[in-house]
Structure 1
């Protein structure tokens, strides 16, 4: 089974549609309702910032869970220079992208441990390494995943559970490119050897590599096209 958080928009939506009809996949959404063709037992409304909401979701599907891959795509961004930023909006990014992701992992880890199998894949970002102006909250939330991932790896590696991050560069869909001013996009492209942004198919291929590579654990894979 594959569970994808944030499955109604951007990268999460792409991955959900890629797996739908091929494997047993369940997606979550919060504010953006997905298209109506999906049944209620395929797409669930879940607020990753609400631990009880995730618990209710788990209780609804726990009997279906087997050999789980958890792909964490849910996330938000907030653009503002730090000295002009709204502290509440800044905090909301951390609560969603880091604490919310921990909540999801916390709920599903015991089941993975009971089944002696699990694959956790977190969508992190090049923003934690190479920032653009105005994304201090987003960069902080994504870099926080690295330390958490290494710790959870050590705690669960003996149970055939792996956890890894994909540090995405600038992707044609999702928050990677759409939040960057067009003038600055050309500047970024000049720093990428291929002079192009990431194709979403490469994200899928990387996820499949992680899912099928048991010895890859506690790592952060840079999928950024060689961004300098």
Structure 2
């Protein structure tokens, strides 16, 4: 996870920590240990795990673990930093959702559910905190040349590329530029940006 403190509009200074965001007690301890130095926060909610199984064959514990990490885990940290953001009259929360929640990909019901849940959460929190210059937005990521793409079989990857008008996977730099745009656009709030190369 990354917590970013912006000291000047054109510069971002990051601090990085390792913790299990699905563990409410661990997140609370982290917050108590660090809340004194948190100011002008940009929270990038990018943590995520996946579990692939057809719904009728799914193990409920494995299925639930995805929801616990990808949705509840993100909320565990979000709800703790919101009071600081509201006091500062500044905050940016950016959630990484996924094109998988939009397309209906076989075997991804847990992952898709967790990512779709971010849309509703972001809308509600955006309304609650918008008057405090705190924005909450999603980036619906398509397929990028990083992370979980390694789990996609070669033949399936070829099919995916055929559905992307850009004809390629996205780059990490394109994610960064989108994050930077959201940070520096305070009127953008409660939105979901599709970053997928025009994938249909």
The answer to whether TM tops 0.5 is yes
Provide the residue aligned with 2:111 in structure 1. 138
Give the CA deviation at 1:202. 0.2
> Segments of 4+ in structure 1 off by > 3 A?
none
Do structure 1's residue 190 and structure 2's residue 179 form an aligned pair?
no
Secondary structure, aligned partner of 2:71: helix
Do structure 1's residue 90 and structure 2's residue 63 form an aligned pair?
yes
Give the CA deviation at 1:206. 0.2
Matches within 5 A, 1:1-228: 3=3, 23-27=12-16, 44-175=17-148, 177-228=149-200
Secondary structure, aligned partner of 2:135: strand
Give me the whole-angstrom Cα distance separating, in 2, the residues matched to 1:205 and 1:131: 27
TM-score (normalizing by structure 1): 0.82
Secondary structure, aligned partner of 1:45: coil
**RMSD of aligned residue pairs (Cα, Å):** 1.2
TM-score (normalizing by structure 2): 0.93
Stretches of structure 2 lacking an aligned partner (at least 5 in a row): 5-10
Stretches of structure 1 lacking an aligned partner (at least 5 in a row): 5-21, 28-43
Deviations 1:66-85 (A, max 9, x none): 21000011110001111111
Give the CA deviation at 1:46. 1.3
